[in-house]
Amino acid sequence: MQEAYVNINNIPTHIITYGKWIEETITEKELVICITGNPGLPGFYTEFGESLQQELGNLPVWVIGHAGHDDPPEASIREVPQLSGNEELFNLDGQIRHKIEFITKYVPSDVKIHLIGHSIGAWMILQLLQEQSIRKRIKKCYMLFPTVERMMESPNGWVFTKIAMPLYSVFGYIFFNFFNFLPVWLRMILIQIYFLIFSIPKVFIGTALKYSKASVAEKVVFLADDEMARVIGLQHDIVEKNLDLLKFYYGTTDGWVPISYYEQLKKQYPQVDAQLDTKKIDHAFVLRHSKPMALIVRDMIEENREQSNM
């Protein structure tokens, strides 16, 4: 594994790679890029990325988070711009420009991309497909637990808009600033207690500590609020034009993407490549189900590579 903060769209961005670093010469004809969900901290995807690359063997796997969701170390001379006055950098449109610049800058034009999008990352992929310079580089898109429609109508969307956002608007700034005022050791203990209650592996404590920073949390919530407003109806024109490039994977216990969304997609597009999970994997699979999900995605990628090489 290699990782660093690199400037993408003038924002220090946490990149994690397995197999080849982004600035190394790419000798392979294909590579894998994973666009995270929200929160977009690559640290949550370390087990998934490592497991996937080990399974694929000779394909580099790169993980990119979202602009502003992961501050560089305090010793760094580069800083992430504040949210106020820079909203266009951190909303959905800004995040899409961020991914376009990353691909354009670091992926050679003759290398094909297996593009993984988790949650809102899947919606971003649909937007990327409208950029011909990006689309022509893509081998296949793997849409994992895809929040590509009616986010506000989902059970979790209702909770977020009706309960979480009003509470955050009143108490969020105070809570996160108070939490970060506490000594690091106390913050880590509180996170450990939370992880113990929800059976989250301790390996993610460091990433959760970053997530709890007020400057990061506000950008995470800002993006989520934009998602509720923007991700409404399924973008049929994009889906129809790119059915051959899209592979959907839906959960059966997903509060963001109910099974009815999968059923309606299959009804609207009988030929669509869509799969329903059979292992009760959570929407936030990176927390508890990284290895089984890596096996599933490996099979998807290998199947596509085999078909393309026949």
Q: What is the mean pLDDT of each run of 10 residues along the chain (310 residues)?
A: 94 95 93 97 96 94 95 80 95 98 95 97 98 96 98 96 88 76 87 84 86 89 97 97 98 97 97 96 96 97 70
Q: Please provide the DSSP assignment of the chain as one string.
A: -EEEEEEETTEEEEEEEESS-TTS---SSEEEEEE--SS--GGGGHHHHHHHHHHHSSS-EEEE--TTSSPPPTT-S--PPPSTT-HHHHSHHHHHHHHHHHHHHHS-TTSEEEEEEETHHHHHHHHHTT-HHHHTTEEEEEEES---S-TTTSHHHHHIIIIIHHHIIIIIHHHHHHHHHS-HHHHHHHHHHHHHHTT--GGGHHHHHHHTSHHHHHHHHHHHHHHHHH--S--HHHHHHTGGGEEEEE-SS-SSS-HHHHHHHHHH-TT--EEE-SS---SSHHHH-HHHHHHHHHHHHHHHHHHHH-
- pLDDT at residue number 310: 41
List the domains of the chain with CATH numbers: 2-151+232-309 (3.40.50.1820)
Give pLDDT, residue 47.
96
pTM, entire model: 0.92
- Confidence at residue 306, expressed as pLDDT on a 0 to 100 scale: 54
Q: Which residues are known to be catalytic? A: 119, 254, 283
